Amino acid sequence: MRKPYILFFLFLTVFISCKPQTGNRPVEPVVEPPPEENEYQAQIDSSRKIIIRLMRENKTPGMAVAVSVNGKMIWSEGFGYTDRENQAPVDPSKTLFRIGSVSKTLTASALGILMDEGKVNEDLIVQTYVSYFPAKRYPITVKQVAGHIAGVRHYRENEMLSDKPYMTVREGLGIFENDSLLFSPGTDYSYSSYGWNLISAVVEGAGDQDFLLYMQSNVFDPLKMVNTMADEARKNIPNRTKFYVVEEGEVKDAPYVDNSYKWAGGGFISTVEDLIRFGNAHIEPGFLTEETLNRLQTSLKLDNGEETNYGMGWRMGRDDQDKYFVGHTGGSVGGITRFWIYPYEKVVIAILSNASPLDYNDADRKMAWLFMDEDSL
């Protein structure tokens, strides 16, 4: 009577041994698909050499670069270190650099939103929105201030090295608000980061909200710029790089500065990838209306008809290849930035560093040209 049971167990053993195994070993070998080829690999390789040479020549500890073409980010890479001592590598998606005056371009977007909503008329005097700003010998308009033709002064002496905290935009205006204008508005061009302090007060007045909160809710959040924020010196901000200066060929820690006196004109930190997102949102209408984007990105003219090659928060012009561009440069204590949009070629490039000074020697332009169609070169 035991024989049927013996046959049953023999059959079960054979069945199990022949059954395909479903553990970590697959039934058939898995063939990995070949890596997707980047059609811009040659351009990326050439640009990488440019960045490495630039860092070596300037003794820059860390840099990040990103490029987009036709709205698609096709290259993003970090070079060197955020912290030389601990050799923490730069991450282009996370490492936060000081963007300097590229902050003006971000603030210009907030101004543009208010223009689109009919809350700001750039041809009205600034006191329309900032009633507490002292009247000057000549009236100055929002557009004149935003385009550096109002006569508001720039930094004096060591003001760029300020380590004093300013709790509000209004406090920051106190640095220059009682100074006379440099010239009759509209008669000359004189670059002024302090003028953008006044623009941030216009944003607060017209937007009825604290400037930094307005930037967050109306510019950074909608554009998914999750790594762009104020460079608050007294906060421990994750992923913020250390900052360096190069003096007489020696790399040193940058002096402590507090940029709260100039959020709008030079106080933000960001990543190259966030700047690419911002650039693509301003390469053509969409985030802002066509009319407003054009007004921001069109050169202002002096009273004598001379163009300034600066709109409202945006530089523009033609490079050595006669290619039209808009964008901005940025100079900070511990960081030099390049941010350019080539609207006709649909190319956006952002380069950030954690040391100053840094002589790009047109490296930013040369890289941008590499990513343009051959027909455009």
pLDDT in tens, 317-369: 999 999 999 999 999 999 999 999 999 999 999 999 999 999 999 999 999 99
Sign of CA dihedral 114, 115, 119, 122: positive
Region of 224 on the Ramachandran plot (φ > 0 left; ψ -120 to 50 alpha; else beta)? left
Q: Is the pTM of this model over 0.85?
A: yes
Q: Tell me, what's the pLDDT at 376?
A: 41
Q: Which domains does the chain have, with CATH numbers?
A: 41-376 (3.40.710.10)
| Cα distance between residue 123 and residue 302, in whole Å | 14
**E-strand stretches of the chain:** 62-69, 72-83, 88-89, 97-98, 229-230, 244-247, 250-253, 268-270, 315-318, 324-332, 335-342, 347-353, 355-356
pLDDT < 50 regions, the chain: 1-35, 375-377
Q: CA geometry: angle at 99 spanning 350 and 266, to 5°?
A: 140
Question: pLDDT tens digits for 88-139?
Answer: 999 999 999 999 999 999 999 999 999 999 999 999 999 999 999 999 999 9
Q: Tell me, what's the pLDDT at 37?
A: 63
Sign of CA dihedral 242, 66, 227, 266: positive
Q: Tell me, what's the pLDDT at 58?
A: 97
